[in-house]
Amino acid sequence: MNRTIYFIEGDGIGAEVWAAGRPVLDAAVAKAYKGERSLEWVELLAGEKAFKETGEYLPQVTLETLAKAELAMKGPLTTPVGKGFRSLNVTMRQTLDLYACIRPIRYYEGVESPVKRPQDVDMIVFRENTEDVYAGIEYAAGTDEARRLIAFLRDELGANVDAEAGVGIKPMTAKGSKRLVRKALQHAVDNGKPSVTLSHKGNIMKFTEGAFRAWGYEVAAEEFADSVMTEDAATAGGSKPVIIKDRISDAMFQNVLMYPRDYSVIATTNLNGDYISDALAAQVGGLGLAPGVNMSDDLAFFEPTHGTAPTIAGQDKANPGSLILSGAMLLEHAGLPEAAALIHKAVDKVIAGKRVTVDLASQIQGAEVVGCKAFGELLGE
């Protein structure tokens, strides 16, 4: 795999988490492969830095380069307030067809957690990233568009909708659902994970969330027949490495808190995935330790899950952990797992040493607060 990594610094705390985090990634690669391998970083402009230098928040050249890239990483981006601006993140996700948002959630010993058995928390969420209520098809109550749509729904389809309702559309396709579940199943098979759980609200939204469930089982049966079986098949004595099961999302939220050991890979729809990945991150240390990647079939675009944290930007208070752990995911994906393992070991060690950034210090008994830069240095030692 080409190891050129295109990177976008990002706004707010972006510059400082990169300054603290990138040397940790370079050092891990140098150490793991005794200086024989290295990462080639190429900066792309987006966000406020791009606006200052080019007058555009998302220059075309950035999108064109990413469209041909295999590996990229970004810091958080602010969406400029005001009419006429779409979120840069959403624009990139849709233009580059980054259909799978993947977030691992793992417990770090010593961090206080609201769950009873945090050491059982080792999950990875695959969230569909392009469809569902996030497709942006929404009309405000009282607008011509909403009224026309409601008239059609009432007159043509006999739907019982108030004429003055705001209306949102939740499109979900077989293609979108299947490619997401396919990625989750492949991950489980490749990494020896015991199960994939489809989380959905199909009891209420039968033709969207329910269809997601059905399409998920279809992919498993048609494309993974040798390695994946249903819970029923397992109960009947079947023996295959991965079990596919499904849970209604509200029950699923309870279950991941009460019985985290029963869940490993979670494949879910866009809105459910948004909620569950933040809720899971909160069980194990919060946004400062929550890495992620958005993937298309060609590009893996890694990013911390947090935003620009404007109230602490420029104060050396941000936790670079989420960016560094996103980098560890990138290293693993790029075929450099030994370097990724060094990073995980370093995070374990530094947290155990109780010298951490302020967000973590409030969750670790007796911890000493260090700045963003110093935290990065401790991780790079």
Kindly list the catalytic residues.
Answer: 134, 201, 250, 274
- Continuous H helices in the chain: 14-32, 47-54, 60-68, 88-95, 144-155, 174-190, 209-223, 231-235, 249-258, 270-283, 321-333, 337-352, 358-361, 372-380
Minimal distance, residue 369 CB to ligand NAD, in Å: 11
Q: Of 127 and 193, which has the nearer Cβ to ligand NAD?
A: 127
Minimal distance, residue 101 CB to ligand NAD, in Å: 10
> 78 labelled as ligand-binding?
yes
Minimal distance, residue 175 CB to ligand NAD, in Å: 25
R_g (Cα) of the chain, nearest Å: 22
Nearest alpha carbon to residue 50 among 17, 7, 93: 7
> 89 labelled as ligand-binding?
yes
Q: Of 200 and 306, which has the nearer Cβ to ligand NAD?
A: 306
Say how far apart CA 54 and CA 167 lie, in whole Å. 38
Q: Of 46 and 340, which has the nearer Cβ to ligand NAD?
A: 46
Q: Of 6 and 263, which has the nearer Cβ to ligand NAD?
A: 6
Say how far apart CA 244 and CA 235 lie, in whole Å. 12
With beta carbons less than 8 A apart as the criterion, state whether 293 and 300 touch: yes
Q: Of 92 and 252, which has the nearer Cβ to ligand NAD?
A: 92
> 274 labelled as ligand-binding?
yes
Minimal distance, residue 141 CB to ligand NAD, in Å: 25
Assigned token pair, 259? 């019985």
Nearest alpha carbon to residue 4 among 43, 41, 44, 33: 41
With beta carbons less than 8 A apart as the criterion, state whether 338 and 32 touch: yes
Assigned token pair, 2? 């080409």
> Which residue number has the CB closest to ligand NAD?
307
Minimal distance, residue 326 CB to ligand NAD, in Å: 11
Say how far apart CA 198 and CA 251 lie, in whole Å. 12
> 191 labelled as ligand-binding?
no
> 160 labelled as ligand-binding?
no
Task: Give CA 337 to chain center in angstroms.
Answer: 20
Which residues in this chain contact ligand NAD in the complex, by CB under 6 A?
A: 13, 76-79, 89, 287-288, 303, 306-312, 318-319, 322, 359
Say how far apart CA 270 and CA 129 lie, in whole Å. 6
> 177 labelled as ligand-binding?
no
Assigned token pair, 1? 């795999």
Q: What residues are designated binding site for Mg(2+)? A: 274
Which positions make up the binding site for D-threo-isocitrate? 87, 89, 93, 103, 127
Which residues belong to the annotated binding site? 78, 87, 89, 93, 103, 127, 274, 319
In the annotated binding site for NADP(+), the residues are 78, 319
